[in-house]
Amino acid sequence: MRRIIRILGALAVAVGLSGCGYNQIQSLDEAMKSSWSEVINQYQRRADLIPNLVNTVKGFADQEREVLIAVTEARSRVGQIKVDPTNPESLKQFEQAQASMGSALARLLVVAENYPQLKSDANFRVLQAQLEGTENRIAVARKRYIESVQQYNVLVRQFPVNL
């Protein structure tokens, strides 16, 4: 009889421990999803700035059509990708498209250096400042996402949560 009670007691403890951390797992999972949404939001903000930037540059440097087309095409490619952070291939495609757009934007800003009138244009300066701010926001959002994923991964590997 005592043996059965011990077995039932051990079983009750195991069941109790397996429930420990469930709410914390759910909380960290939601935090991870929220931080990923912030990353996507900041990338979208950058993409939304591009048409205004391209139009401003086009007014001053229409002969730089190749660079303007590259930026527009890179933005289009980014908009076509549906990213799933749980799918490594989808995430890789998304990161490649974002890198391509970042590279095209960098070329556009280098071209702008060759046009003093453009650099002195108030609209261009505002757009350039917004773009720089958005790049910083992207970096912060990505850092927060990585931290939330790390917290989640640490939790699900800890005892007794991993039971």
End-to-end CA distance of the chain: 28
Mean pLDDT by groups of 10 residues along the chain of 163 residues: 74 61 83 94 93 87 82 88 87 91 90 84 90 95 95 82 61
Polymer length in residues for the chain: 163
Cβ neighbours for 161, distance < 8 A, ≥ 6 positions apart:
20, 21, 24, 25, 155
CA-based Rg of the chain, rounded to a whole angstrom?
25
Place of tokens 């999972």: 29
- Amino acid 109: pLDDT: 87
Q: Quote the CA–CA distance of 4 and 21 in Å, as a whole number.
A: 28
pLDDT of 18: 56
